[in-house]
Chain A
Amino acid sequence: MPGDSAAGAVVAVRDLRKTFQRETGETVTALDGIGFAVAPGTLAALIGPDGAGKTTLIRLLCGLMLPDDGEVEVLGQNVSAAPQEVQNVVGYMPQKFGLYEDLSVQENLDLYADLHGVTRDERAAIYPRLMEMTQLGRFRQRLAGKLSGGMKQKLGLACTLVRTPRLLLLDEPTVGVDPLSRRELWEIVTTLIEEDGLSVLVSTSYLDEAERCDHCVVLHEGRMLAEGAPGTITAKAEGCSYIAAPPEGMPARSLQARLFATPGVVDAVPEAGKVRVVRATRENRAPIGIEGKEVTLKPVPARFEDGFMTVFAAVAGDSARNTLDLRAAEEGSAEVAVEVRDLVRTFGDFTAVDRIGFQVRRGEIYGLLGPNGAGKSTTFRMLCGLLPASAGTLHVAGADLRTSRAEARERLGYVAQKFSLYGDLSVDDNLRFFASAYGLRGRRRRERIAWAKDQFDLAPLATLPSRQLPGGFKQRLAMAAALLHEPQILFLDEATSGADPLARREFWGRITALAESGVTVIVTTHFMEEAEYCDRIIIMDAGRALAEGTPAEVRARAGGTAATMEDAFIAIVEKARQAGARGAA
């Protein structure tokens, strides 16, 4: 029981409740009777999708908010009674760490050192260590605003570590950070736990991160679904996990989408050309038939994500729809949907994209992967006709983007990284506006809007200002708006960034349906496991293409050691960077 272990715990939470008042007047329950404890010297994780209450919980632990009911004790102090005492001794890194962008790296660090009363001698000891851990030493004089996303996160972490806090609270420290920086951040945290015996509580929606922790607390809509060591959560799916090979000629993602929609299946994800399936119960060993063909299921050991999805499916149900009703695209449209050759984009003397070339066939899903600053977004903008190319050829949907940009644009849909719809307009108004912007009129406009609302389950929220939509629904609306004019090519820029595992599966189900109907899809993503949904991927770094091919081919390029797509990605990027450094030396 949490109550019993609370003695000596660094964090002890009992029956915590917190509600908020929305602008519209309705009450939202952020936390509904949460209770758990974190033992000293451990790494604990709060996991759960968007809106689970992770951020609210951490803010309550810091005394930045007051609970409606229940008790919060941090390091033996009652937070509500003595917030300042707690704030003196914990280190807190908010989700968006507010670095002062017009101050340099060193000035940001000095500010926090001054605020924490770190003496000159202590600084002499800790700064070199922080610089070594974060590898920011070379950038001390650089303004924080000029750092890449990953470096900013590392600096934010360094600012909270100017003195060793007794408890470190990290709120989604790796959201929007590329795999390389993500790994570096985690190395810093694990070093601190091992060497300094630090206690850490981290919130995350990355399940592989939660798996590294000693203790996991699974949250969903303000309630606690499960608690315990990762092993105990993994165990919930033990005996339920299988690998299924797709029938000849069927892409793994098509099988995945069908399996995910099958009753009794709590999870299905593509994995190395096959599909990992998690069934709801151990007893159910009956074969699964897909489109008349029996799919053979080979039992495999469960992993953490399987356990998480099992816990989750129990409450979330399988209401999530992951497919779309689509008209098959007209035959006879060009076989090659996108063709890029020797694409170059320079900004002054900086080359953002350096002779990139690839081809995407009709109905393919093509992935652009790379660390922050690799040139993905620049390439993307050129493909969408938002940015002119400095050199090279670009053909999209049969139109030369350099000469007939408007023509190409009619045939493509674009979902931007950030929510770029009108927040003050309702769902209906947004759809109506985008339909008109795409030149839809009369009956067709009404039909397409009705289709979008139906397919994305937006009808019950149609009158809500889109700003107030829950996270997953915003993303659905953005995608619905981009599909109103039935584009032949869909561009998705980091569309799943910040989305929870469930929403991401739903999203990929829809993408799969689109690809099957003949729509070409080009995506960028930070989630390397999402590369498994792609037919082919290109890995970029520093504006150049490092590897291209099917996920299996790319993994093979990385050598036999790469267990996951993420390992393969890191191996390829690091190899290229080392080669570059040698070449320069």
Chain B
Amino acid sequence: MTGAARRTAALIRKETWQLLRDPSSIAIGIVMPLAMLLLFGYGLDLDVKNVPVAIVMEETSADAQGAASGFDLSNYFDAVHVKTMAEAETLLLDRTVRAIVRIPPDFARDVQNEQAEIQVIVHGADANTARISLGYARGAVAAWMAREAVRGRALAVAPVSVQGRMWFNEANESTYFLVPGLIVLVMTLIGALLTALVVAREWERGTFEALFVTPVRSAELLLGKTVPYFVLGMIGLALSVIGSLVLFGVPFRGSALVLAGVSVLYLLVALGIGLVISSATKSQFLASQAAMMISFLPAMMLSGFMFDIRSMPWVIQMITYVFPARYFVSLLQTIFLAGNVWSVILPNAAVLAGMAAVLIALSVRLTRKRLA
């Protein structure tokens, strides 16, 4: 073994012992992913149920009654029937109801002519609920059409004027997109927060000072630090994937290899952030604060994992491009729910690869064997 390899191996061994003996590393690397998996999987439910809607029937034909019954029967809606549109609007404005379903006059005739329309107006204050309500409205109408179909009456074109469909989440369960999204949190915690902490700890406790005055090179120090946390990150990934498949039956349509590949890229980005933060702050407290602000919170809020980027204000949408988490979340949701869609995977992966290269180069530059 050459000197460099032997020294790097010694540092990796040392770091691994420390990692295994430090309960907080294990807690962040193993316990936290599992806890989040259970919490997000079972506890957190972004599904919208019992949305209060006002139904305005401007026609009383059987078809109109039938379409309305789709809302009456649905679990997702609490329907109240009102006489006029004005009445419904009052209810919407004081937020007694979240949506208005208007079945216009001549509905039955239009159904015959295959150009029927149902107007759905949602209150946009809660964009997330609004969006989901729209989807439900389509579902309710579809349910009515399905019942008609059973009776042997095929209604051709989708009669609801609202465009857009809910893709890739046909079961409409938030678990399906939350659980893969979790991976971004786990990798961020391990890569950025843990790494920043353990490197800052060495500065703080003065352990680097003695280590520097040995034949060790700074690149070997960096490698010795990152390899164990890289492995821990991959274990966290495996736990999250297995957990989401086994416990929650999340579909996995892409290939495991592509998932592993893009996860490695993101982990490198996160490690790079951790190393840069710790070299810059040299203090555990500052490093943990910085890692939270720069990596974890954006991964939670601005990555599209929890809140849809498209429903954010334009400025915030622009900001999300700065954070690596958004690219990884699109990759994760694509690979899990849509499959190997290369037009999504390649550009996102390229951005991550670029970020990783820049951050790692920066951390090598910042880690010199110098005090002050």
Contacts and interface: CB of A to CB of B under 8 A. Distances in A.
Interface in A85-123: 87-88, 90-94, 96-103, 107, 110-112, 114-117
Interface string B1-33: 001001101110110011001100000000000
Interface residues of B, number: 30
A17 to B, nearest CB: 15
| Chain A, interface residues (CB within 8 Å), range | 35 or more
Contacts of A83: 369
Interface stretch (B74-82, B123-131, B206-214): B206-214
Contacts of B371: 59, 64-65
A84 interface: yes
A156 interface: yes
A200 B77 CA distance: 84
A552 interface: no
B10 A111 contact: yes
Given A98-B202, A98-B209, A156-B210, A88 B215 contact: yes
Given A98-B207, A100-B18, 17 more contacts: A64-B212, A83-B369, A87-B214, A97-B210, A98-B205, A101-B205, A102-B17, A103-B14, A107-B17, A110-B10, A111-B13, A114-B6, A115-B7, A117-B6, A156-B210, A159-B210, A169-B213
A40 B370 CA distance: 27
Contact of B21 (A102, A115, A156): A102
B214 A115 contact: yes
Contacts of B216: 115
B217 interface: yes
Q: What are the 3 A-B residue pairs with the smallest beta carbon separation, nearest first?
A: A98-B207, A114-B10, A92-B213
B206 A94 contact: yes
Interface of B: 3, 6-7, 9-11, 13-14, 17-18, 21-22, 202, 205-217, 369-372
25 contacts: A64-B370, A64-B371, A65-B371, A84-B215, A84-B217, A84-B369, A87-B212, A87-B213, A87-B215, A88-B214, A88-B215, A94-B206, A98-B202, A98-B210, A100-B14, A101-B205, A107-B14, A107-B17, A111-B10, A115-B7, A115-B214, A116-B215, A117-B7, A117-B215, A169-B213
A99 B238 CA distance: 34
Interface in A525-559: none
A511 interface: no
B210 A115 contact: no
Contacts of A383: none
A87 B217 CA distance: 10
Interface in A205-222: none
Contact of A98 (B13, B14, B18, B211): B211
B7 A20 contact: no
A103 B18 CA distance: 7
B10 A98 contact: no
B262 to A, nearest CB: 34
A93 B214 CA distance: 11
A62 interface: yes
Contact of B207 (A91, A99, A107): A99
A75 interface: no
Given A66-B370, A117-B6, A102 B215 contact: no
A160 interface: yes
Contacts of A98: 202, 205-211
A88 B216 CA distance: 8
Nearest to B212: A64
Given A87-B212, A87-B214, A102-B17, A114 B370 contact: no
Given A100-B18, A102-B22, A107-B14, A117 B210 contact: no
A152 to B, nearest CB: 12
Contact of A100 (B207, B217, B369, B370): B207
A111 B202 CA distance: 15
B369 A65 contact: no
Contacts of A62: 212-213
Given A98-B202, A115-B10, A117-B6, A64 B213 contact: yes
B215 to A, nearest CB: 5
Contacts of A93: 210
A156 B17 CA distance: 19
Nearest to A98: B207
Contacts of A107: 14, 17
B2 to A, nearest CB: 10
Interface string A131-172: 000000000000000000000000010011000000001000
Interface in A40-88: 59, 62-66, 83-84, 87-88
A64 B209 contact: yes
Contacts of B6: 114, 117
Contact of B214 (A66, A103, A112, A156): A112
A63 B368 CA distance: 11
Contacts of A159: 210
Interface string A442-484: 0000000000000000000000000000000000000000000
B210 A114 contact: no
A20 B21 CA distance: 38
